[in-house]
Amino acid sequence: MPAGLSPEMGTEAVLVPAARVEPDVDPRSAPGRARSRPAARPPTLWLSEVVVGALVVTLGVVAWMSLVLAHLGAHSLGGVVALSGVVLGAGAVWLGTGRRRIPVRLDRTGLAGTALLAGLAAVMFFPGFHYGASDKDPGGYIEHAMEIARTGDYAFTDPASDPARIRAVEMASPGARLPGLWRHGTDTIVPQFFHLWPALLATADDLGSETGVGGETGLASTAPLCGLLAVCALALTTRRAVAAARPTPRGEAAGLVAGGVAGLLLATNMLEVWQAKYPTTEISAQLWFAGLLLGLVVALTTGWAPAAFLAGVMAGIGFLDRADDLVLLLMLAALGAGLVAVGRFDRRSAAFALGLGLVLPHALWQAYSPAAAHHYAAANHVPGLLAVGTLVIGMFAGAALARRWGPRIGPALGGRFGVARTQRRAGAVILALAAGLLMLGFLRPRLFGADYAWFAGQGRRRTFDEQALDRLGWFIGRPTYLLALGGLGLVALRRWSAPLWIVATPTGLLLALYAWHTRNSTQLMWWSRRYVPTVLPGLLVLVAVAVGAALMALGARRWTGRLLVGAPALAVTGGLLGFFLTTSLPLRHHDELGGSFAITRQLAALAAPGRGIFLWPRQPCCYSATDLFAGAVWVGRGQLSALLPADRTGWPAYVGQFAHGFPDSPVFVIGAGTTRPDLPGRKLTLARRFLTTLPLWEMSDTARPDHAVGVPVDFTVWRLAG
């Protein structure tokens, strides 16, 4: 697949120039007269890449093995450690044998820079949010993770759905007992979303409990760890891609500068800091994307096929994590078909396909099996398996036919696009198209007006899609678009370098796709999350390419270059960094819904483990006690929750069903404030009052949220007597 490209079209890969200079006779010179040229050093890996890459792969394997065991109903910390150890050990033996070995180069500067970036990311990202409520996606992931850690299974049985106990349990919506808790069949609950992230969180919960730091700390620390590794991996990807585009000592220095800029900007951006603290899949998806890019760039620049294999594994794990990654897989399939058509599908391409094929069957089962996440995939308009399979087979069949009936096409295209003039012309077209689309995106409100769509349960509302680029610019700064366009210009108008195109291509295509229609909530901290896995890091890498090239002028001998190019680039970098820090630093001390874990723990403590019945009233959206805690108490803490009927006159009979259906369990009824639930003929005693405020970051559709507000929590738990 992508690894079949050469690092520079029409040239062989040269990673780093040799430090020594060897004489070489120029045939055009006089006899005996020698000129010097750098001797090519054999392809190597930097030690910083080995360390970060090993950590990314290890976390990916742990996440995958956590999901394998959860899908088998056998998740446990010991099982995950043992199975992951076997897989990683086998992989290490495989990589360390025969022709698969590759020299590793000690790069003290790279190690020091990576350590500094990791330290900065740790300061910005840790601690993560202690999000123990069940109102939105993060709460759904957390409660599912706690359920997997407790039971070992991704699915569980709902006792209240047994008609022998309760004639007809109340449903939050058709097919869902509570929001996000979808009923499969008669009594089996499979929480919505793909299951890789909660399975990894479950392992973190187990690890935190076993090490004494606490399961809740483990849950809150997983997203920041993913963010930290993603920053380091993307910085190293940028470094290698830039260095490979210009294989000279100056190119290697430019790679270090660009990688440092990319990591610095990403670690301080508000969206990155938010998602690195927020326990949803965006930051883990970014990590798998970063691992994919790093593996591909290493494979392209060194020719090392195992790097392409690991990149394929990362691509498959990404699809296990998020349905959105199917788009990325289709892009890679199209690229692979193109390589087949032009005769560039080599051993690295085969290695990538093998790595992807190792994970893909599991990912397809999860996405399309009714026993797993098929209902979620269908609800989110993921194309069916038949459609996807037909498309991929059609692409490769067409590529094979083109290769069979037009054997000269590949060499002809390779020769044509290996010419610098052709590359510049094609690059100019690509750059003009990107600039035109960018301009169209900003002019879209004036040209087409406001955009509307139907939202489930909310009717026809504005999507703000026509303002997508502007709204994203509130978080990344409008100059970022121009700088990224400048970076694309350096990629497109210079000698083409496949490693840089590997980063630029998905960034541009996915930005256009998501800006056209975000398919998300209009609330900005929620709306912006779709750009974080791929678009945000890609844009900042392109910015780093442009700024890094300009910053290299600071080392120029002529003062004009330092003043006219280097100094403005330094000022731009400082201004962008200052803007990012101004918006992200307030998040360092924010803890979204912090304290919610304590509330659910105290609620669960009102009954013996697994014995309590909590009945919740239907309350208006949003952030009511029912929204926040009903699912968390049930799925997260193991006590059973159910909704009360909308018709209050039916409460006494309904509560009576639970009292008779679960005779050995205490029944608790939740009341708003100090209001005593109206249950004629039933005696209630006060069990506990909850009165507090939980921190919540401001939500807005029309301005960048910049401060925290409070969510009032005021409810009383009443115990049914007798």
Residue 215 has pLDDT above 80, yes or no: yes
Give mean pLDDT, residues 353-363. 97
Burial class (CB in 10 A: 0-12, 13-18, 19+), 620: exposed
What was the pLDDT predicted at 416?
Answer: 64
Q: Tell me what the mean pLDDT of segment 507-525 comes to.
A: 90
pLDDT higher than threshold 60 for residue 26: no
Tens-digit pLDDT profile for residues 392-405: 999 999 999 888 87
DSSP state of 497: B
- Residue 515 CB partners (closer than 8 Å, separation 6+): 441, 465, 468, 469, 472
Confidence of residue 315 (pLDDT cuts 50, 70, 90): very high
Q: Using alpha carbons, select from 71, 68, 84 the residue that is nearest to residue 153.
A: 71
pLDDT at position 681 over 60: yes
The pLDDT of residue 457 is above 70: no
Identify the weakest region by mean pLDDT among 388-392, 459-463, 610-614.
459-463
619 & 481 share domain: no
Of the listed ranges 15-19, 341-345, 715-719, the one predicted with least confidence: 15-19
Domain boundary among the residues 564, 588, 612 is at: 588
For the cut 50, the answer to whether the pLDDT of residue 341 exceeds it is yes
pLDDT band at 414 (very low <50, low <70, confident <90, very high): low
Taking the C-alpha atoms of residue 519 and residue 463, their distance in angstroms, rounded to an integer, is: 8
Is 13's pLDDT higher than 70? no
More confident of the two residues 22 and 323: 323
Tell me how far CA of residue 108 lies from CA of 52, 256, 298, 496, in angstroms: 14, 12, 19, 29
Residues 691 and 675 both lie in one domain = yes
Round the average pLDDT of the chain to a whole number and report it: 90
∠ CA 517-518-523, rounded to 5°: 135
What digits encode the pLDDT tens for the residues 470-483?
999 999 999 999 99
Look up residue 102 and give its two tokens. 């590759």
Q: Does residue 2 register a pLDDT over 50?
A: no
Other Cβ atoms within 10 Å of 173 Cβ, number: 11
pLDDT tens-digit map of 528-554? 999 999 999 999 999 999 999 998 887
Are 605 and 541 within one domain? no
Peptide bond into 127 cis (omega under 30): yes
Give the other-Cβ count within 10 Å of 615's Cβ. 23
The answer to the question of residue 503 being in a domain is yes
Nearest to 268 by CA among 579, 697, 479, 531: 579
Dihedral in degrees, nearest 10, Cα atoms 495, 500, 506, 511 = -80
β-pair partners for 23: 36
Q: What token pair was written down for 478?
A: 């409008």
Segment 254-303, tens digit of pLDDT: 999 999 999 999 999 999 999 999 999 999 999 999 999 999 999 999 99
CA dihedral 36, 42, 43, 44 (to 10 degrees): -110
- What mean pLDDT comes out for the span 446-459? 82
The continuous run of DSSP H or E covering 23 comes out as: strand 17-25
Residues 237 and 311 both lie in one domain: yes
- Kindly report which listed range (16-20, 248-252, 589-593, 606-610) carries the lowest average pLDDT score: 16-20
Examine the pLDDT at 227 and tell me if it is beyond 80: yes
Residues 6 or more apart from 319 whose CB is under 8 A from it? 325, 326, 329, 359, 360, 363, 367
User: For residue 566, is it within any domain?
Assistant: yes
The predicted structure's pLDDT at residue 522: 87
What are the pLDDT digits (tens) for 137-146?
999 999 999 9
pLDDT of residue 408: 67
**pLDDT for position 605:** 96
Q: Cα 152 to the chain's mean position, in Å? A: 25
Give the pLDDT score at 167.
93
The angle subtended at Cα 533 by Cα 225 and Cα 77, nearest 5°, is 40
Share of the chain above pLDDT 90, in %: 78
Query: Residue 114 in contact with residue 48, Cβ under 8 Å?
Result: yes
Residue with tokens 């994203």: 472
Residues 582, 638 share a domain: no
Side chain identity at 56, as an amino acid letter? V
| pLDDT for the residue 5 | 41
Distance separating alpha carbons of residues 337 and 1, to the nearest angstrom:
8
**Which DSSP string corresponds to 259-282?**
HHHHHHHHHH-HHHHHHHHS-SHH
Asked if residues 330 and 349 have their Cβ atoms less than 8 Å apart, the reply is no
Assign 3-state DSSP to the chain and report helix, strand, coil percentages, each to 5: 60, 10, 25
Q: Which of 441, 535, 549, 540 is closest to 493 using CA atoms?
A: 549
Please tell me the predicted confidence (pLDDT) of residue 42. Answer: 67
> Does residue 479 share a domain with residue 566?
yes
Banded pLDDT at 419 (limits 50, 70, 90): confident
What does the pLDDT read at residue 18?
31
- Please check whether residues 568 and 618 belong to one and the same domain: no
Closest C-alpha among 203, 193, 191 to residue 65: 203
CB neighbour list of residue 637: distance below 8 Å, 6 or more residues apart: 146, 600, 601, 603, 604
Higher confidence at residue 246 or residue 650? 650
506 and 566 fall within a common domain: yes
- Residue 163 lies inside a defined structural domain of this protein: no
Residues ≥6 apart with Cβ < 8 Å to 634: 143, 178, 181, 614, 640, 641
Which tokens go with 322? Answer: 């998020």
Name the band, by pLDDT with cuts 50, 70 and 90, for residue 334: very high
Mean per-residue pLDDT, 595-621: 94
Instruction: Tell me, yes or no, whether 519 and 427 share the same domain.
Output: yes
Return the beta strands (E) in 440-545 as ranges: 452-455, 459-462
Residue 35 scores a pLDDT above 60? no
For residue 563, give its domain range: 45-128+217-588
C-alpha span between 492 and 485 (Å, rounded): 10
Radius of gyration of the chain (CA): 28
Same domain, 331 and 226: yes
* Contact assessment for residue 3 and residue 311, using Cβ atoms and an 8 Å cutoff: yes
**Domain end call among 538, 557, 588:** 588
| H runs (alpha helix) in 304-419 | 305-321, 325-342, 347-368, 374-379, 385-405, 409-417
pLDDT at 34: 41
Question: HSE (CB half, 13 Å, CA atoms) of 288?
Answer: 27
Angle, CA 177 vertex, CA 530 and CA 527 arms, to 5°: 15
271 and 325 in a single domain? The answer is yes
- Domain boundary residue among 526, 553, 588? 588
For residue 719, list its beta bridge partners.
668, 685
For residue 505, pLDDT over 90 is answered with yes
Residue 224 lies in a domain: yes
Statement: residue 459 has pLDDT above 90 = no
The H helix count followed by the E strand count for the chain is: 26, 15
Confidence of residue 248 (pLDDT cuts 50, 70, 90): confident
- The pLDDT of residue 9 is above 60: no
Q: How far apart are CA 190 and CA 147, in angstroms?
A: 11
What is the token pair recorded at 6? 């050469």
8 Å CB contact between 204 and 221:
yes
Confidence band, pLDDT 50/70/90 cuts, at residue 28:
very low
Distance of alpha carbon 445 from alpha carbon 453, whole angstroms: 15
575, two tokens = 């201004």
Residue 696 lies in a domain: yes
Contact 120, 276 (CB under 8 A): no
Q: Is the pLDDT of residue 32 over 80?
A: no
Tell me: do 298 and 341 sit in the same domain: yes
Instruction: Please report whether residue 146 resides in a domain.
Output: no
Look at the chain and report how many structural domains it folds into: 2
Handedness of CA 504, 357, 275, 220 (dihedral sign): negative
The pLDDT, as a whole number, for residue 559 is 73
Which pLDDT belongs to residue 17?
31
What HEC string does 110-173 produce?
HHHHHHHHHHHHHHHHCCCCCCCCCCCHHHHHHHHHHHHHHHCCCCEECHHHCCCCCCCCCCCE
In a domain, 255, yes or no: yes
Contacts of 558 (CB under 8 A, 6+ apart): none
In a domain, 314, yes or no: yes
Predicted confidence band of residue 23 (pLDDT cuts 50, 70, 90)? very low
pLDDT in the model for residue 621? 81
Residue 21 has pLDDT above 90, yes or no: no
Mean pLDDT of 210-229: 96
**Phi, psi for 61 (deg, rounded to 5):** -65, -40
Mapped onto helix, strand or coil, the DSSP state of residue 212 is coil
> What's residue 27's pLDDT?
39
Q: How large a percentage of the chain has pLDDT more than 70?
A: 91
CB 462 within 8 A of CB 450: yes
